[in-house]
Chains A and B, each alone.
Chain A
Amino acid sequence: IRFILLQNRQGKTRLAKYYIPLEDSEKHKLEFEVHRLVVNRDPKFTNFVEFRTHKVIYRRYAGLFFSLCVDITDNELVYLESIHLFVEILDHFFSNVCELDLVFNFQKVYLILDEFILAGELQETSKKAIIERMGELERQE
């Protein structure tokens, strides 16, 4: 995974994590382009769009777009389900997650993401393990 983006329909970034070294200006440009790329797509279309020399796998949940940028040769469906797994984890953690939860608790979202993906690869695919780990971390604070 090159980067993960969470954006709303208006293009506001709710979460952005890059696993490749990029300059700030490049990041902003990328976020703008990815948003433009996914926002107008029909729900009946594929969840995959070619993006520069890579591929964006995205999925829309209510007004939020979750986008993963992966290599052309990566397995698209398995990343598509990674998005869903991430959403399930968020949903479980915030019990019935909505955009506002993610806005006001963006630090927590980053924490969860760090337990889920590391160095651009999936780190843990067990929802239970991640939720338990988050409990552990909350006790530490």
Chain B
Amino acid sequence: MALSGMRGLSVFISDVRNCQNKEQERVRVDKELANIRTRFKNQRGLTPYEKKKYVWKMLYIYMLGYDVDFGHMETVALISAPKYAEKQVGYIVTSCLLNENHDFLRLVINTVRNDIIGRNETFQCLALTMVGNVGGREFSESLAPDVQKLLVSNTCRPLVRKKAALCLLRLYRKNPDVVNVEGWSQQMVQLLDERDLGVLTAVMSLLVALVASNPDGYWSCLPKCVHILERLTRNQDILQEYTYYGIPSPWLQVKTMRVLQYFPVVEDPNVRRGLFDVLQRILVGTDVVKNVNKNNASHAVLFEAIALVMHLDADKEMMSQCVALLGKFVAVREPNIRYLGLENMTRMLLVADVNESIKKHQAHIISSLKDPDISIRRRSLDLLYGMCDISNAKDIVEELLQYLTTADFGIREELALKAAILAEKFAPNLAWYVEVILQLIEKAGDFVSDDIWYRVVQFVTNNDDLQAFAAAKARDYLDKPAVHETMVKVAGYLLGEYSHLLARRPGCSPKEVFHIIHDKFPTVTTPTKALLLSAYVKILMHSQPPDQELQAQVDEVFKRCESFIDAEVQQRAVEYIILSHKGPSMVDIMAEMPKFPERQSALIKRAEDAEGEPTEMSATKLRQRQNSMALVVADPGSANGGLPPPSEQLALPEPPPPAPEPAAPAAPAAPQSAYANGTNKAPAPASTNGDLLGDLLAPLALEAPPISTPSPLTQSADPGEPLALALYDQQNQIKPIGSIEDWFRALSLKDSGVLYEDPYIQIGIKSEWREAQAKMVLFLGNKHTVPLVNIRVLILPAPHLKMQFSRVPDTIPPRAQVQVPVEVTCLSASRETAVLDFSYTISTLPVNVKLRLPTLMNKIFQAAPVSASDFVAHWRAIAGPPTKLQEVVRGVRPMPVSDMGDLFNSLHIGVAPGLDPNVNNIVAATTFFSQAGATLCLVRVETDPSDRTQMRLTVASQDPNVTYEVKEFIKEQVIDIPFARTPAPTPSPAVMGLTGPAAVLAGLI
């Protein structure tokens, strides 16, 4: 055993090793830390050797899992030491101890740069390694050109160049702007001629990242890559040291094939042919061998080849060759290969029409679902999920349900969710669906989220012929011993609504149903109790003829709950007791719930969201993503296997027509009286938005809680609501400290500031617009002393904006800040803004806010200085509607003309003073940028000095859309209360015509 060469260090390590227990170890480590701390404090006495020793010790302690919160400065300082030995320690330990966000790193940027451009090769290597391993944005900005130079230098050894290649990769990932495509693609082509396979491997990794973000720019590298692949697979002049168990660098082969998967297509027929030859050889020529390393290496190449074949849209024959191979793999014993067989089959499903041939292997796949290894079970579950269509849904879902009884904890939730989604997507009929979900709740109630049973309620409510069936089923399930609370909820709801349909069946009299449900009452949680109370009153009101005995029993329950500790339960009990004594005239109020408007399944949405972002998303992956989106939007029948949709699909019937404005006292006589409870509200915009928590009843839940009033016609009392409230999680008790509107308004004129703040989190925003593009950064700062978890950032872009942002960690540590860069591109003119849907959880309390992002038109405007003659010429050239629009705007916020000019200037609409001889008029010009290019936009405002609340606004540009949007935008800015919309039942004119998420939100505010 070789010792470290540093006695003190070795002694310390053995001391720690000799500690009998964790406590002793901690004592020893604390002693050492104290020692190091004092030594560092009186710096003068330290020899370079000692410094080195202590810094190594620090790393060792750090590695053991202890916090080392000092000595960073000393470590970083070693980087600047003149001698190799110290420098080396400094670089290595720095790159382990600090991350890119650490301030100390800034101190050494200069030293690092000097090492990189210096003559000492060893120092160059150290510096490149450190930057490659930790380098952040600042390194990226200041070092990239130097690193590029080293990579293409012909005086440096391969050793330096391969490090330079990977270092540049890191810098590029941090900041893609450091590489200029035009100049660099040619360099990359030349680098691919590299003979040293070490350098080539590194260069290939760099190329993956470059091509991934810009396949067009590196087009010319494609033939070279194919050539390299040919060379490798033929084993032509590959040095012995680069073969691994006889296989020419499997790593380089895999990387090269990875690069090829980022080019959308291979056009050149010769190159394509060459490539297919190679792939064919790999597909045919890979055999199973005894040596496990050799076997793994050759199969690594084989699986990559399969992935590439899938990407290239190869001909049918090659595809079926791949499916055959994968079919072989899913049946083998060797776990790794079987795992990969399942995984790749799942991927294949998404890119090619191979469903039918994969179905042949269904038996093997199902048997993997019972494998002891959870990794394999997961893959098998994924594959079954992917290959499910209408023809095999019944088999697969039933298989999943059966497995659910024995499945272990680690996979149950996913299993339950997937079974629920498949049941919903491919149900041969709705009764089967309801049946499956009830089974699911019975077997894995803990994992059946509210979304799932809300969905059942939606379907049952909207399908009359399902109601009696579902109620009967629910009743049967309540009879079983040990009923899960979710089952109590769904059964309670269904029986409350529909048990009167069963009244003639044995055991289903209102009294019996009430008793079955009420048996569960003592054991359920408070929200469920509230829901059950509503069910009782409904059962009571629906019993025909009225049942005095039942009335007495229910009354007793209500009476007991009148002093219940929870306010919601208490209120319901009090109200229901009064209501139920009002007699038959109240029956209408307790009528069945109206039908729900159609919504996208919250489940399917959630499944879409739950995917991690890889470093580089491959072209294949991107395509898969699009496909999987399509799956949801498209008819399930045609998306999977092209079967025609059967008559009884899960599509919900037409939503009920929005109820008329409720004011008329004659409402009960109107044809819609069946909807009297619940729909006599102005239709809330949220109903089309689909994802609100109480997917089921969100619009109702937005209203005030009911108060009991004698007349059902009084609008504020809507007794259909208590039920709604029961389902609606009382959430978002955390309130912003300040006005979201004010923050937004400030941001509409500024480029940085606060977007949102509550006691736990502050969201800041900074944006930098350059013509039609913006770099926006969201700063998510945890103000609190505990971590914020389940962070979710969704951006709902308006249709005219393209927005991209990177992955956001799901936890923000205490007092930490996370930055989320967002790239914005404006595609066309629109007044809409994107919306940030942000949620987090603070000690189990979920918070969700939807915030408009200041992606306003005025950010894209650039004031355009125009001379009088130019203005007039342009003005005349644009004749009239639709490119020149005029409107008299009323309700203008009264302000002097000069203030209005200032307002325009602050919106980047450049006022040209003196151009219009009339002092009551303003003319201004601005340039609007979008992906289509720049559009000059001219504005003229004529005000009336005697009535400042109105003005005549004329806008002209070459593009009718721009003209219209600019005119509307200016209107929004000058009329009274430009941002806060009054909650009038009819949306203000400015909101009408907008369809994006912001409009929905604006309607809500």
Q: A residues engaging B (CB < 8 A)?
A: 12-19, 21-26, 28, 31, 41-42, 44-50, 52-54, 71-78, 80-82, 84-85, 94, 98, 100-101, 103-108, 110-111, 114, 118-129, 133, 137, 140-141
B59-77, CB < 8 A from A = 59-60, 63-65, 67
Interface size on B, residues (CB 8 A): 81
Does B519 count as interface, using CB distance less than 8 angstroms?
no
Whether the Cβ atoms of A81 and B244 lie closer than 8 Å is yes
Residues of B within 8 A of A78 (CB): 250-251, 254, 297, 300-301, 304
Q: Which residues of chain A are within 8 angstroms of B816 by Cβ–Cβ distance?
A: 23
Q: Determine if A85 and B205 form an interchain contact, defined as CB atoms under 8 angstroms apart.
A: no
10 contacts between A and B (CB under 8 A): A17-B133, A21-B99, A104-B1, A104-B13, A120-B170, A123-B162, A125-B197, A125-B252, A137-B122, A141-B84
In the complex, A24→B61 CA distance in Å? 13
Residue of B nearest to A29 (CB): B811
In the assembled complex, the CB of B775 is this many whole angstroms from the nearest CB of chain A, namely 20
Least Cβ distance of B63 to chain A in Å?
A: 5
Which of B222-230, B372-380, B995-1003 forms contacts with chain A? B372-380
In the bound complex, how far is the Cα of B754 from the Cα of A127, in angstroms?
Answer: 54
Interchain CB contact under 8 A, A75 and B300: yes
Judge whether B475 is part of the interface by a CB distance below 8 angstroms: no
Q: Which residue, A12, A31, A118, A125, has most C-beta atoms of chain B within 10 A? A: A118
Distance, CA A116 to CA B653, complexed state (A): 61
B163 close to chain A: CB less than 8 A:
yes
Say yes or no: A103 contacts B162, CB within 8 Å.
Answer: no
B611 touches A23 (CB 8 A): no
Residues of B within 8 A of A18 (CB): 99
Contacts of A23 in B (CB 8 A): 99, 813, 816
Known: A28-B65, A78-B250. A107 touches B56 (CB 8 A): yes
- B167 and A119 form a contact (CB under 8 A): yes
CB-based contact A44/B335 at 8 Å: yes
Q: Which residues of B contact A84 (CB under 8 A)?
A: 293, 296
Q: Does chain A have a CB within 8 A of B45?
A: no
- Chain B residues 148-164 with CB under 8 Å of chain A are 159, 162-163
- A23 to B242 CA separation, bound complex (whole angstroms): 37
Complex contacts, A101 vs chain B, CB 8 Å:
1-2
When the two chains form their complex, are residues B101 and A73 in contact, meaning their CB atoms are under 8 A apart? no
Residues from 805 to 843 in B contacting A, C-beta threshold 8 Å: 811, 813, 816
The yes or no answer to B132 lying at the interface (CB within 8 A) is yes
What 6 A-B pairs are tightest by C-beta distance, nearest first?
A53-B612, A77-B300, A71-B614, A21-B99, A78-B300, A119-B132
A98→B1 CA distance, assembly (Å): 8
B297 pairs with A106, CB closer than 8 A: no
Task: Pick the contact of B63: A15, A21, A71 (CB < 8 A).
Answer: A15
Instruction: Give the contacting residue for B612; candidates A28, A52, A85, A105; CB below 8 A.
Output: A52
The answer to whether B964 has its CB under 8 Å from any CB of chain A is no
Among B115-170, those with CB < 8 Å from A are 122, 128-129, 132-134, 136, 159, 162-163, 166-167, 169-170
Q: Is the CB of B336 within 8 A of A76?
A: yes
Given contacts A72-B612, A140-B122, 4 further A-B contacts (CB under 8 A): A50-B375, A73-B621, A81-B296, A121-B169
Q: Given A21-B99, A123-B162, A125-B201, decide whether A47 and B336 contact each other with a Cβ distance below 8 A.
A: yes
Across the interface, which residues of A come within 8 angstroms of B666, CB to CB? none
- Asked whether B63 lies within 8 Å of A72 as measured between CB atoms, the reply is no
Chain B residues near A107 (CB-CB < 8 A): 4, 56, 59, 89, 92
Q: How far is the CB of B686 from chain A (nearest CB, A)?
A: 30
Q: Do B63 and A106 have beta carbons less than 8 Å apart? A: yes
| The residue from B99, B251, B612 contacting A82, defined by CB atoms under 8 A apart | B251
Question: Once bound together, how far apart are the Cα atoms of A85 and B198, in whole Å?
Answer: 14
Asked if B170 and A119 sit within 8 Å, CB to CB, the answer is yes
Partner of A13, one of B64, B101, B163, B304: B64
Inter-chain CA distance A137–B134, complex, in Å, is: 22
Known: A77-B297, A121-B169. A21 touches B250 (CB 8 A): no
With both chains docked as a complex, state the minimum distance between the C-beta of A32 and any C-beta of chain B, in angstroms.
Answer: 8
Q: Is the CB of B335 within 8 A of A45?
A: yes
Assess whether B919 is interfacial by the CB under 8 Å rule: no
Residues from chain A with a CB closer than 8 A to the CB of B166 are 118-119, 121, 123
